[in-house]
Amino acid sequence: MCAIAGIYGGQKAAELIFLAQHAQQHRATDSAGIATTDGAHLYNRAGSGIIQDVFGQADLDKLHGRAAISHLRYSTVDDDPTRDNTQPILMPFEGEEVAIAHNGNLTNVETLIEEFPEGVSLKTSMDTEIILRRFCLANGPTINDRIIQALQGVRGSYSLLMLFPDRLIAIRDSSGNRPLSLGQRDGAFCVASETCALEAIDANFIRDIKPGEILTISEAGLHSTQLPWATDSHQAMCIFEKIYYAHPASVVYQEDKGEEAVADFRFRLGQELEKIHPVPNADIVVGVPASAQFMALGYASSGRSGNFSPSIQRSHYIGRSFIQPNQAIRDTKVARKFGLIRRGRYGLEGKVVVVVDDSLVRGTTAKLLLSKIWACKPKEVHFRSACPPIRYHCRYGIDTKGNAELAAATMTNEQLRQMLEVDTLEFLPLEALHGLITTPKRYCFACMDGDYRICQQANTTITQRI
Amino acid sequence: MCAIAGIYGGQKAAELIFLAQHAQQHRATDSAGIATTDGAHLYNRAGSGIIQDVFGQADLDKLHGRAAISHLRYSTVDDDPTRDNTQPILMPFEGEEVAIAHNGNLTNVETLIEEFPEGVSLKTSMDTEIILRRFCLANGPTINDRIIQALQGVRGSYSLLMLFPDRLIAIRDSSGNRPLSLGQRDGAFCVASETCALEAIDANFIRDIKPGEILTISEAGLHSTQLPWATDSHQAMCIFEKIYYAHPASVVYQEDKGEEAVADFRFRLGQELEKIHPVPNADIVVGVPASAQFMALGYASSGRSGNFSPSIQRSHYIGRSFIQPNQAIRDTKVARKFGLIRRGRYGLEGKVVVVVDDSLVRGTTAKLLLSKIWACKPKEVHFRSACPPIRYHCRYGIDTKGNAELAAATMTNEQLRQMLEVDTLEFLPLEALHGLITTPKRYCFACMDGDYRICQQANTTITQRI
Amino acid sequence: MCAIAGIYGGQKAAELIFLAQHAQQHRATDSAGIATTDGAHLYNRAGSGIIQDVFGQADLDKLHGRAAISHLRYSTVDDDPTRDNTQPILMPFEGEEVAIAHNGNLTNVETLIEEFPEGVSLKTSMDTEIILRRFCLANGPTINDRIIQALQGVRGSYSLLMLFPDRLIAIRDSSGNRPLSLGQRDGAFCVASETCALEAIDANFIRDIKPGEILTISEAGLHSTQLPWATDSHQAMCIFEKIYYAHPASVVYQEDKGEEAVADFRFRLGQELEKIHPVPNADIVVGVPASAQFMALGYASSGRSGNFSPSIQRSHYIGRSFIQPNQAIRDTKVARKFGLIRRGRYGLEGKVVVVVDDSLVRGTTAKLLLSKIWACKPKEVHFRSACPPIRYHCRYGIDTKGNAELAAATMTNEQLRQMLEVDTLEFLPLEALHGLITTPKRYCFACMDGDYRICQQANTTITQRI
Amino acid sequence: MCAIAGIYGGQKAAELIFLAQHAQQHRATDSAGIATTDGAHLYNRAGSGIIQDVFGQADLDKLHGRAAISHLRYSTVDDDPTRDNTQPILMPFEGEEVAIAHNGNLTNVETLIEEFPEGVSLKTSMDTEIILRRFCLANGPTINDRIIQALQGVRGSYSLLMLFPDRLIAIRDSSGNRPLSLGQRDGAFCVASETCALEAIDANFIRDIKPGEILTISEAGLHSTQLPWATDSHQAMCIFEKIYYAHPASVVYQEDKGEEAVADFRFRLGQELEKIHPVPNADIVVGVPASAQFMALGYASSGRSGNFSPSIQRSHYIGRSFIQPNQAIRDTKVARKFGLIRRGRYGLEGKVVVVVDDSLVRGTTAKLLLSKIWACKPKEVHFRSACPPIRYHCRYGIDTKGNAELAAATMTNEQLRQMLEVDTLEFLPLEALHGLITTPKRYCFACMDGDYRICQQANTTITQRI
């Protein structure tokens, strides 16, 4: 899970992109980088941590020009510590440089590396570099030709931003697995993983970059073309963006659901969950912050299974548990990140409590949180996951290291119930989730159903290979 | 506004106090300090920033012993930069040291300084030092005698923790203006500004330290006594703690309201506000994060003035606006701290929106937030303050620099409405606030009614002066 | 004044270059950078301060490969703070990158910038970039052709190192104004500003890079060629390297003086100075650390003008005064950098003292030092400069901002004597300096005689211009 | 080896003491601390590293008042990392505080700890605290009475500075093992380990604090008294101060040698060494920087055993090898700290070289240096130690961890010669060293002769024990 953003045409592009990325900080916190161009050269800076810690005013001042791209990175345990794994990556191109930022994950890295001509090696340990290097090796007459040439044979998910001195190019793979949206402010066009980043800089959301689209932004305005192999049947948009990753104010996947806000989708998830797995005697419905707030509102909306209750308050002085790189740190932070209301209307004490979570991945956070909930002496605790069981690890962008660490992959519902020490435990059924989507076949549910079809998709309509 | 916490009797007192203070981090973020004792000596460390940034494991390891007090500080513009204005303050006492941490503000500092014997001068620019120095100069036979002697003649508000090698003493002034609560875990007693800090270390809330109480915690257990001048008529507990400062999970002022959680009081504020100033055609009720969430729930609870809507999402990667020391920083941060939902069930677009805020102090944050709200194109915006107009600056602990910067002190409601560019603007009337409290005369409403009676209270029942 | 170093062929090139540059740290302390190559890609890092502070082991570990170049920079007040003025500079070249490090100063920058094709602009504020950009724009069939094309028309001084994935190229301009030497260790070839850097990594000094030479180091070994316009008459090697900049252990300008160590030349300067301006009644001869130590030994060698005395001890915990960027810092540091012996055989008290300095530039350091000397109560103080008066600012590499700040440019000897408050003050005459050199016409004495001939030298033997 | 300094009476005492300590930085580099008083309170700051790194202007600004003491510390491997081992140490005293700084080492720590009353424990792991705590527990009518009471029974070496709000007290133990000198500037009195620190702040050296003296500096001027047990026979001043530790400009032990500068004593050491162990065919005499420079001058002074040659240049960008805390760091730094002249008059190549070192302790630095010397291809290398063999570890202040790591304790001269790979190796005989001192029995030669008499000295003339 990463965040990308770009702008073309504004004054102080680096400052605007900084604000846009701040609004996407929930997606990744390990490193942040910005590349800009003044029309002649590229400038770039990157470092570890959240964007506010990496960039001071002096850094932004050194990022000259009216166009910029940026990347927030969620590092993985596979990272080679001797390599400089920040993005954007820059590479020489036509006497100047090109920069790239990538949200997604390639699934045929070994094959792609073998395809490189003799002598080509990688400088980083990020698959992003593979894409950029294929682009630089390609030899079509136009930049778009080279992009198409570079991307054929590349499997997996990618939303890309490429910055040249005279243009910014946004690309979304034919599956559309990762979101990417287009906005406009004054004379500038903006692209970002989420629409909330557009709104943070007062840009209007225009539309999504379409699955398989190559959108070029330059002084000449917008120019759109398609990856030649892109067909509607390729579409496999990540459902988890809507469930967990995205900001509730964002619109994701306009393709399928129009401009439904993420908050509304989550409300409907909770509403449906209650229909299928109600808790008739419940007093209160508590959402695990921050993602499950709207699911809890939906669950409580019928009035039959308890009232909505913000009984779990999140500390404002600690990061998001899912995006910490190792288990040890996660545990310590979980212990400090929640403040629970024990007494009164919204108190847990003596109540029949429904705890709604967005999902159940490793189960670690849930277990620690439930022990804190029981310390408040509720009468009963019923756990509800607004997402079906996660049984398969994601190959397209999320850092789980195989199925074994997924709680629902190895335990029955009853085992999970006992592990979490709750009175009942239920998941939204996968069919119900399908029912909440206009066209389920446009989505990827691989983490729930194991259908990794993105890996198999043919994207080799052109014969010539680099 | 500061936060204090203490523990006596636990293993790794420094680590427990660190966790307790983390739960009170919402009260102050400018500096953090911890003093501990191993029964023989005192150890202390302090620094600028939030407690997670000031203390690493190596620092906690150097804070030896089974008892500790700690202080989180909200610095003021009066701070002398050449002085070391962190707390706890340590001072020599009986061949060892004594440490003190103070939440509150004295109002007769000049008089107290004049009373010092020839040659006595201050080392810091905090009034806390005046109390400690008076204590060290006092000469009664017992520590409690000296405390009483030190505090007579001291006007203003103070909740104090004092750490000696063999005891921890918690003191709350006779007005009870600042909260202070007692808890217990295993063999240890804990005190903290708020009960949420007790719960963060799995301690049970026992009771409040009473207004005018001196509570000594030692190997002998608890020993309580009273400041001799303390009478019920002195009580003047800060109503703003319940409205704004305290964590919603905390219980404050058990004296008056029993164990009502702050969340419930805020719900009732919103409920009452809606009764008096409804917006019959409203679609949604939005609370300004984080304090006004429960007020918005209360406002929406009748169902007559719109539905509760968490349309304003707070960024998790930025601090609390009120506690930044200067205006310039505040503005920048406000611009980045909120993410608004524009579309759908919880979207602002096209809706008649009620914005419920906890109060209206300077009006700066509200104005910036409202400009962001209007950018989402609501149909109407109605502003409701769950607190009566703030017209008088607080002399007991809050950093406002005089009445002039208080919006409601200089503008009529209509002027405020125009300044904030809203359709209607209303405050909860002061009488209504009184009505929500069991015994209003036990509370201080000085910031609303200008009755600074704490300053006048006689606390000189004992003749001898130091 | 900067320092450059390069290595081709060794294991851990970054670590060796780090050690080599450490030995040249006396030349520049403002920033340090290293670029390496693993045969496929370039890697680079740079930062402010001395090389030990910029590079930790983790940084060296990220600089992969068996070839490296490095630069230590002495920043100038003209530096644009919004630009990234560290070296090596990298630029795209033939699908990969090329890095450059430059010791020297160009004198026709404005003209060179005007010569750029429409649309070419600079990314830094260093003239080094002009050379690199001319190289990248050149279009000859070979790299050497492009280098020659890039350098024709470039006036001023330059010793250059260029790093490509498959070669390292060392270039010295036809004046030979800045030193550059070649060494060998195991299978590796090394180049460095000074031979002391070669010896620091146990490399043998082979020979100087010749004025006008382009030396390519690759898997094929060494390949040398000449800049076509280079003639012996161009030679104008900086005499000040031998007087002040270079390490006493270094050999500079093998062309003229064979392998005479800098220490020996400085000894001869002092010896000659004493012949011309003796102080017959002197007790002791004191050299200003660190540069004038050998001059003082030479001055004292006849035994007629006092004995050598290391009465001024330099603190090991402070940097070199000449290389601090502004006057305010220089003064403070001078006050702390010297420890003087007052008593005994080497004491200043009661003695007739000859103070030998390497030169007199601004006079600031000398004045402060002399006030410390007088505090030791010597009987007489005689000041001797082993270098003729510096009356003209250097245009080729030294940071003086015009003649006005040069003490000897605006004051007579008598005025200087009064300003420094010494009994006598004498300089080595320029003719005497000429006499100590085999072929004076091979040297640049511009700072003493105002002959800026490097600026006028024709280096345009080839017609075609880029 | 530590450095202490104090001042009483000057404006900006903290700034002056900072400059004084900078001049003593050669003695210790691990931590630095300053305590000041404004006549009412004490202020203090300390941290790791050299004093320039610990104190910025903002820190000095917070150290109020006209009197100060300071300490530079050389940490030992025994340091407890969980304790705060910086000095000065502060402790409560008579309602205010007292600060202490200590140069030396106690030898009966266990006994002293057992003597403490029940319940007294230590807060640091420095024996300094034992002295201060004994002082605070003492109960004589005057401060001086308490000091005497505190110090009786304390064995080992101590030069102490104590700071009270109204006075500064300097104490030197009856052995006088560590130096301590008194100076004056304007209205201020200054004390420092070495006279070079006095001169750094333009103070005149008045005299040494005498062995066994307690010197009080206050508004009333100077008041001197003696430790009652002090007799001349106690004197056992560390000879190694004159050989190695002290700055060459300092005067140490005025008691015995008047105001002979350390530089002169070192010259005589070298002179005598050459008389006893000449190298008749030598070409050059090289001193190991920085300490042996004057010994080499002395060795070369007869003209019979080669000429003085500063062939080993020390880097100005690295600290002193002896004072690094562990072996690993020492080795790396040694490799980088020296630059050797290979060619010419002062070159090592082809020469018969005498290497004069101040002493031979572990032999590590010497071995590494000699390997660098041989790399310059000298004809012969003769090693001369200006100090007799070091065979016994020091119990009074130097960090050697037992005799085993002392090269001369376990190897014969021939073994040492082979280990260092030199042609000959000789030490100054102990008797010759005695002969260079007026009254050898006033000195401690324990590291050479194993006579640890300071440990046995009776200092218990007063019966009453605390």
Nearest CA in chain D to C259: D343
pLDDT confidence of residue C458 = 58
CA distance C372 to chain D (A): 9
* Residue D179 vs residue C82, higher pLDDT: D179
What subunits make at least 3 CB pairs under 8 angstroms with A?
B, C
D and B touch per CB criterion (3+ pairs under 8 A): yes
At C216, which amino acid appears? T
pLDDT confidence of residue D78 = 73
3-state secondary structure chain A: CCEEEEEECCCCHHHHHHHHHHCCHHHCCCEEEEEEECCCCEEEEEEECCHHHHCCHHHHHCCCCCEEEEEEECCCCCCCCCCCCCCCEEEEECCEEEEEEEEEEECCHHHHHHHCCCCCCCCCCCCHHHHHHHHHHCCCCCHHHHHHHHHCCCCEEEEEEEEECCEEEEEECCCCCCCCEEEEECCEEEEECCHHHHHHCCCEEEEECCCCEEEEEECCEEEEEECCCCCHHHCCEEHHHHHHHCCCCCECCHHHHCCCEHHHHHHHHHHHHHHHCCCCCCCEEEECCCCCHHHHHHHHCCCCCCEECCCEEECCCCCCHHHCCCHHHHHHHHHHHEEECCCCCCCCCCCEEEEEECCCCCCHHHHHHHHHHHCCCCCEEEEEECCCCCCCCCCCCCCCCCHHHCHHHHCCHHHHHHHHCCCEEEECCHHHHHHCCCCHHHEECHHHHCCCHHHHCCCCCCCCCC
* Residue A12 vs residue C374, higher pLDDT: C374
Residue A17 pLDDT > 70: yes
Report d(CA C140, CA A64) in Å as an integer.
Answer: 32
Q: Which residues of B touch A335 (CB under 8 A)?
A: 19
pLDDT confidence of residue C109 = 93
Structural contact between residues D295 and D266, judged by C-beta atoms closer than 8 angstroms: yes
CA-to-CA separations, D159 to A376, B81, D154, in angstroms, rounded: 60, 35, 13
Question: Is A53 at the interface with chain B, CB within 8 A?
Answer: no
CA distance D144 to chain B (A): 18
By Cβ distance, the residue of C314, C336, C347 closest to D261 is C347
Report d(CA D445, CA B59) in Å as an integer.
Answer: 42
Considering only CA atoms, which of C381, C378, C410 is closest in space to residue C393?
C410
State the angle between helix axes of C364-374 and C327-337 in degrees (0 to 180), rounded to the nearest 10. 30
Structural contact between residues C29 and C1, judged by C-beta atoms closer than 8 angstroms: no
Question: Is B38 at the interface with chain D, CB within 8 A?
Answer: yes
Q: How confident is the model at residue C428 (pLDDT cuts 50, 70, 90)?
A: very high
pLDDT confidence of residue A455 = 79
Question: Is D41 at the interface with chain B, CB within 8 A?
Answer: yes
> Own/partner pairs for A118-121, CB < 8 Å, 24+ apart?
A119/C40, A120/C40, A121/C38, A121/C40, A121/C41
Here the ipTM equals 0.91
SS3 (DSSP) at C450: coil
At A348, which amino acid appears? L
| Cβ–Cβ gap A82/C97 under 8 Å | no
pLDDT confidence of residue B456 = 75
pLDDT confidence of residue C338 = 87
At B10, which amino acid appears? G
DSSP B366-418: HHHHHHHHHTT--SEEEEEESS----S--SSS----SGGG-HHHH--HHHHHH
List the beta bridge partners of residue C188.
C185
By Cβ distance, the residue of D40, D84, D119 closest to B62 is D84
List the beta bridge partners of residue B215.
B170, B224
A246 exposed, middle or buried (CB, 10 Å; 0-12, 13-18, 19+)? buried
| Cβ–Cβ gap C19/D315 under 8 Å | no
Q: With b meaning 16 or more CB within 10 Å and e meaning fewer, what string describes C233-261? A: ebbbbbbbbbbbbbbbbbbbbbbbbebbb
Summarize pLDDT for C178-211 with one digit per residue, the tens.
999 999 998 899 999 999 999 988 899 999 999 9
pLDDT means per 10 residues in chain D (466 residues)? 93 90 92 96 92 86 95 83 92 93 94 92 93 94 96 95 98 96 94 95 93 97 95 93 94 83 96 98 94 96 96 72 34 71 96 97 90 94 97 78 83 96 98 95 94 74 40
CA-to-CA separations, D309 to B26, C195, C283, D296, in angstroms, rounded: 68, 20, 20, 8
Residue A182 pLDDT > 60: yes
CA distance D11 to chain B (A): 16
Q: Which of B114-123, B401-410, C354-363, D331-340 has the lowest mean pLDDT?
A: D331-340
CA distance D202 to chain C (A): 8
D119 exposed, middle or buried (CB, 10 Å; 0-12, 13-18, 19+)? exposed
Residue A389 pLDDT > 60: yes
The residues in A 117-136 lying below 8 A from C, measured between CB atoms, are 119-121, 123, 136
C144 exposed, middle or buried (CB, 10 Å; 0-12, 13-18, 19+)? middle
pLDDT confidence of residue D399 = 58
Structural contact between residues B345 and A297, judged by C-beta atoms closer than 8 angstroms: no
Number of residue pairs across A and B with CB atoms under 8 Å? Answer: 143
Percent of chain B with pLDDT over 70: 92
| Cβ–Cβ gap A43/C123 under 8 Å | yes
Q: Which residues of C touch D199 (CB under 8 A)?
A: 339-340, 342, 375
| Cβ–Cβ gap A248/B344 under 8 Å | no
Cα atoms found within 13 Å of the Cα of residue A400, Cβ hemisphere only: 20
Summarize pLDDT for C116-167 with one digit per residue, the tens.
998 899 999 999 999 999 999 999 999 999 999 999 999 999 999 999 999 9
C and D touch per CB criterion (3+ pairs under 8 A): yes
Q: What is the pTM of this model?
A: 0.90
Average pLDDT for chain C? 90
By Cβ distance, the residue of C251, C319, C339 closest to D249 is C339
Mean pLDDT of the region B244-248: 94
Summarize pLDDT for A71-89 with one digit per residue, the tens.
999 887 677 888 889 999 9
Strand C443-444 and strand D3-8: the pairing is: unpaired
| Cβ–Cβ gap D40/B119 under 8 Å | yes
The contacts of residue D329 (CB under 8 Å, 6+ apart) are none
| Cβ–Cβ gap A344/B294 under 8 Å | no
Q: Which two tokens stand for residue B336?
A: 């980045």
Residue C461 pLDDT > 70: no
C455 flagged as catalytic: no
| Cβ–Cβ gap A121/C40 under 8 Å | yes
Report d(CA B455, CA C376) in Å as an integer.
Answer: 64
Residue C40: CB atoms within 10 Å: 15
The residues in D 57-116 lying below 8 A from C, measured between CB atoms, are none
Summarize pLDDT for B126-173 with one digit per residue, the tens.
999 999 999 999 989 999 999 999 999 999 999 999 999 999 999 999
